[in-house]
Amino acid sequence: MIVELIAVGLVVSACLAIYLDEAVYSVISLACMFVLAAILYALSGATFAAVFQLAVGAGALVVLFLAGEMLSEKPKSEKPLRNTLLVVAAALLLSLPPFFLSVSAPIANVSSSFSFAQALWDLRAVDVVLQGLVIMAVAMGIAIILYEGKKGG
């Protein structure tokens, strides 16, 4: 039950990270998402993956936080609390199917000596490369914006 609640929190914080206009609140929501993902890894027995998730998340958050504070304009109008609560309700609705639907996993040809941690590191290479590419793209975008701002100002 605790894993499902953490997963719901992960979905809600991811939706809020996308929805919120204020850069600081969006980055805080993203930080919650990274921490909850790391907790899920740790509960599944993949301690090194959890530590890696926290390290990658911390690096990305520092870059996003500093860039967001330096480059974003302050929003002129506040979004009503009602809209934010609607986004949270939509995220909760998205995370409800795992509670009520039972999907049987197909039987895989994997030996039982293959632990979750090994599977995570052996089968997650594409995900790790893609996370690195996203962080690199964000850093390059921020560098371009800073360069254009310096050149224009």
Residue 49: inside a domain = yes
33 Cβ neighbours under 8 A, 6+ residues apart: 10, 13, 14, 17
Evaluate whether residue 107 is within a structural domain.
Answer: no
Task: Give percent above pLDDT 90 in the chain.
Answer: 1
Taking alpha carbons only, the member of 32, 70, 58 closest to residue 146 is 70
User: If pLDDT is split at 50, 70 and 90, which confidence band does 29 have?
Assistant: confident
Instruction: Give me the pLDDT at residue 76, please.
Output: 65
Domain encompassing residue 52: 2-100+113-152
Is 61 among the domain residues?
A: yes
- Select, from the ranges 17-31, 69-83, 90-104, 120-134, the one with the highest average predicted confidence (pLDDT): 17-31
101, two tokens: 């639907």
Look up residue 87 and give its amino acid. Answer: V
Tell whether 22 is covered by a domain. Answer: yes
Report the alpha-carbon distance of residue 136 to residue 66 in Å, rounded.
Answer: 15
Task: Give 35-61 pLDDT, tens digit per residue.
Answer: 898 898 888 887 877 888 888 777 777
**Inter-residue contact 18 to 44 (CB < 8 Å):** no
Q: What's the rounded Cα separation, in Å, for the pair 41 and 99?
A: 19
How far is residue 10's CA from residue 7's CA, in Å, rounded to a whole number?
Answer: 5
In a domain, 106, yes or no: no
Query: Which residues, including other chains, have CB under 8 Å from residue 124's CB and lie 6 or more apart?
Result: 49
Query: What confidence score (pLDDT) does residue 3 get?
Result: 82
Give residue 108's pLDDT.
54
Output the CA torsion 59→37→84→145 (10° steps).
Answer: 20
Taking the model in full, what pTM does it have? 0.62
- Does pLDDT of 116 surpass 70? no
